[in-house]
Amino acid sequence: MSRSRNERPGSLGGVTSLSLSSASAAASKADAVVIGVAQGPKGLVLAPGADSVSDALGKALLPALTGLGATGRAEQVVRLATLGATTAPVVVAVGLGPVAAGDGDSDGAYDSELLRRAAGAAVRELAGSGRVALTLSMSGGDVAAGVRAVGEGTLLGAYSFGRYRTAAGDASSGVDRRDPVGKLVLLVPDAKSKTLRAAVRRAEVVSRAVLLVRDLVNTPPSDLHPVELAELASSVAGRTGVDVEVIEGKALVSGGFGGLVGVGQGSANGPRLVHLAYRGGKGTTSKVALVGKGVTFDSGGLSLKPAAAMEEMKSDMSGAAAVLATVVAVAELGLAVDVDAWIPMAENMPSGAAIRPSDVLTFRNGKTVEVNNTDAEGRLILADAIARACEDSPDILIDVATLTGAQLVALGARTTAVMGNDDALRASVVDAAGRAGEPSWPMPLPADLRKGLESEVADLINTGPREGGMLSAGLFLQEFVTEGVRWAHLDIAGPAYNSGEAYGYTPHGGTGAAVRTFVQLLEDLAHAG
């Protein structure tokens, strides 16, 4: 039975520890030692940290790796038996791509995201190992930044979702069901450094948050209706001292949350609105509101999706999970920022009670919307939550959602679209995302597309023309943002779920998109204050 099966959501997914050691790579007690290699002008080059392994194997290391096919290509993993030359029986070389800029060999600093992905690729390859040591933290120039990046890469790369497996399987299945690496050791010059230990802790906190999202996204929708998601949010957030309020039933109706009620009324599992409140304490100067789309399963409602389009719709609550996990991480890190999260949760199902195309809904801020497509439900539940969040006059408001298929068409499966009513805020989000290792791209909200949302019977319709559909969705949401509130919208329809093979530290399935961006942005705000 998989070791990761009984891990609670928000754990490190089966990894028992992440630690630092000042032992040399050649003398490290581990099942495998991971070193970095790169593509140099004259062939394979060792990255910083591999010196002791090179010394132990003499002139044989690079020729042996080259003979095994190592090229230094980014994320390429090659194993080499050391035959007793080092304490660890196996050396694993992971590619870092072209040699980093420096003096022409290995003295340059490698990008943090490159190290993060390399660490993830190596650790995925070493699934089943009990203890793995890595030298990659010393390849980034700033060792603390390297520890943070490699720590995240190893923990995220080691992830395995085995909760529903009853057997380990075998190699012939084509699915890797080995337990993740048990213990991860980062080799650094000074393992007692407070700065490096703080970097390890941050890596653990952020990784737990991302893995919480992955667990929730990967959970079958039959086990994660709005009620279960709300209960789990209350439990996980409550353990960190975050205040939790759950609004449901008649309270949603009396509260004027017509969009959320409307989307949820077609399901036997009623909607919820979860409010999480974290207070940063003395020195706090920023007040942030977060909103995340929580459609626990999206059938399309009466505008029914094709069968194949439903297969990954358990991921339609990725935005909600990202916001929940972010608040938990912010609380664990004790950031000096106030955060109010409003998380609308609903199941979009077809039934005799479901909303119909041409129905009109009245929202929290009093606006009315004619529903011309019940499969554009995410913006309906977000609109209510955005309107409610604005009532508290936050300094900034950010929402995140798997909102439109048009995002995939425009930017592909790995790049988040960022829109908003404030260019500086949009730029800050994109910058934070880049430093966190989550690709994003700023997108406009063209005013000329707004007339495509006009209705003859209500204030708005919920979908406009097909052209510019992602941007029209952003314009729709902007209608519910109170004037004067700085707002940004993240569309993670593609990045939230990896439909293809695993790569780097990213598994097949839920990815945990947006959490690292949010934590980085909130850290920036806390430090700016």
Axis crossing angle, helix 378-390 with helix 469-478, rounded to the nearest 10: 30
Catalytic (active site) residue 379: yes
Distance from C-alpha of 507 to C-alpha of 521, rounded to nearest angstrom = 24
Q: Are 386 and 421 in contact (CB under 8 A)?
A: no
Helix, strand or coil, per DSSP, at residue 415: coil
Helix, strand or coil, per DSSP, at residue 400: strand
Helix, strand or coil, per DSSP, at residue 437: coil
Structural tokens at position 42: 């004259």
Side by side, which strands form the sheet with 368-370? 360-362, 368-370, 460-461
**Residue 306 burial class via C-beta count within 10 angstroms: exposed 0-12, middle 13-18, buried 19 and up:** exposed
Catalytic residue among 165, 177, 305, 450: 305
Q: Are 194 and 142 in contact (CB under 8 A)?
A: no
Q: Are 97 and 39 in contact (CB under 8 A)?
A: yes
Tell me how many degrees the CA angle 373-374-377 measures, rounded to the nearest 5. 110
Catalytic residue among 116, 314, 379, 388: 379
> β-pairing, 287-292 with 43-46?
unpaired
Catalytic (active site) residue 59: no
Q: Which residues are catalytic?
A: 305, 379
